[in-house]
Structure 1
Amino acid sequence: MKITLKDEFIKLGQALKAAGLVESGAEAKEVIQEGKVLVNGEVESRRGKKLYAGDLVTFNGEEIKIED
């Protein structure tokens, strides 16, 4: 799955919602804090982590590629 940036970056919680992998910001916060989300292969615990073009998010067997 791919997300095309409208701005310079997208926050991790927003990316999970935009990709349809979580229903709400609260759910995004929960799965991120539980260590279930990887950014570029490493566990990321900050919902507000800024993602830029080229970043790869992995959650629940799904991958989200961030693109320009």
Structure 2
Amino acid sequence: MKIDTDHIKLDSFLKAENIVASGGEAKILIAEGGVRVNGETELRRGRKLRPGDRVEVGGETFCVE
């Protein structure tokens, strides 16, 4: 996904990529440890993602551009 700003928050990224349908769903997925950022489990939904970051969910990898 290409972003137009210097960063995007993790929960917003998950919604923009249609990985989750809502912020609440993103919160649960992240809290349960279902999201990895750059190979590390991420539990903060407000984590700032920048171009080059890789997000892994359910065996799929999404790149921030």
> How far apart are residue 60 of structure 1 and its match?
1.0
Aligned length: 65
- The residue that corresponds to 2:10 in the other structure is 12
2:34 counterpart of 1:36: yes
For structure 1, list consecutive stretches of 5 or more residues without a partner in the other structure.
none
TM normalised by structure 2 equals: 0.96
**Equivalent position amino acid for 2:50 in 1:** Y
CA RMSD of the aligned region, Å? Answer: 0.6
In 2, Cα distance between the equivalents of 1:25 and 1:40? 21
Moved over 6 A (4+): none
Separation (CA, whole Å) in 1 of partners of 2:39 and 2:4: 24
Q: Percent identity?
A: 49
TM-score, with length taken from structure 1: 0.92
1:47 corresponds to which residue? 45
Larger strand fraction of residues: 1
Q: Aligned partners of 1:63, 1:18: CA distance in 2, in Å? A: 14
For 1:34-67, what per-residue CA distance to the aligned partner results, in whole angstroms no more than 9, with x for missing partners?
A: 0010000000000000000100000012211001
